Structure 1
Amino acid sequence: MAMRSAGTPQDHDSSTRYLTELLSERQKLGPFVQVLPICSRLLNQEIVRLSTLVTNQGFVDHERLEHGSPMTSAGPLSNGGAMDLGGWAGLQTERMSMSQAASMGWHGAPTGSITPVVKKVLRLDVPVDKFPHFNFVGRLLGPRGNSLKRIEVTTDCRVFIRGRGSVKDSAKEEKLRDKPGYEHLNEPLHVLVEAELPANIIDSRLNQALEILEEMLKPV
């Protein structure tokens, strides 16, 4: 995502258009915030950065921004133009001032310093040897894959089913087995849980996902 500054009038106009585009994309992303948390967080950070920049140049009514009021095309600009920011208040779960937003951490948690984002992957073996006739893949996926999606939405982790039996079509699995990227098909059936989250919460989210998966892997 390119960083822009507001120096000349042309830069001001460009920044205003850019901010409007960011806000529009943030609205479109709304339904997918839980599925794409990192994308949402980065977009929010850029909106906060640019809004603060434009505010400092006198192009935005800071009082409106601070109270989360929707800004419409009636909002005045110093050059006599207008800026349509289309409802800032609806873009965040909770209304917050720009100064507050700049100091908020992951999912709106106040933080005194920036917490580094780290990536971790955990493996959970599926007990196929103990229960060879149980449909573990079907249990994990659920109807139309909804069970797996719910875990991902709830924990902010990504879940991948890997190993022998992870491909629905056994003939297709045999064809893929020795191809690059499909080496896992030579391993026993297992689940990978991946997360890319702030260091202070990633372990709790991964453990939450593992607990849910372990319960699902108990045949009933």
Structure 2
Amino acid sequence: MSGTTLESPLKISEDAADLLFREARTANTFADEPVTEEQVQAIYDLIKWGPTSMNQQPLRIVLVRSPEARQRLVPLMAEGNQAKTLSAPLVAILAADLDFHEEFPKTFPHKPDARELFDGIDREPYARLNATLQIGYFILGVRAAGLAAGPMSGFDTEAVDREFFPDGRHRSLVVVNIGKPGENAWFPRSPRLDHDEVVTTV
């Protein structure tokens, strides 16, 4: 019917959809504007609500702010990631805590014996899977704060673990540069697979 506007299947605004997904990009250069502790806390306080298996909360975040810490990290990055890691206003190392089950009395209180389920087994696959879910939420949280994220897997994970997680309890997964995008921040947009190439119904 003329003049009728069909309601979108999405329940967020077009602006929010653009901010989080359609117009959001991985930044490769950053402006000098700092990322504040208040912004980081707001990001975490939002993304902590994302679902995980059994409410596992293995994500651990190390904020690399000081020049000394930055100099420890940059040589461990792949060559193509070093300059942007050196210049980003904030860098976060996102890791999985292999002893996530120790937090179950707080995060899974309705099943008091849940912690025992993970005693004596290889917890790393569970930690990696659920921390990776949380990393996805973290990137969306950065975008929701009006910032750009530059997630990178190109680094020496074993060296980063030795340098930043010497207790052996954590496994680094992704390093993320965070800040306002700078000049020439974007590579050309790469295409995505269409719905019919991905989705089947049985």
Instruction: Answer whether TM exceeds 0.5 for this pair.
Output: no
TM-score, reference length from structure 1: 0.26
Higher RCO by CA contacts (8 Å cutoff, separation 6 or greater): 2
Q: Looking at CA atoms only, which structure, 1 or 2, has the larger radius of gyration? A: 1
TM-score, reference length from structure 2: 0.28
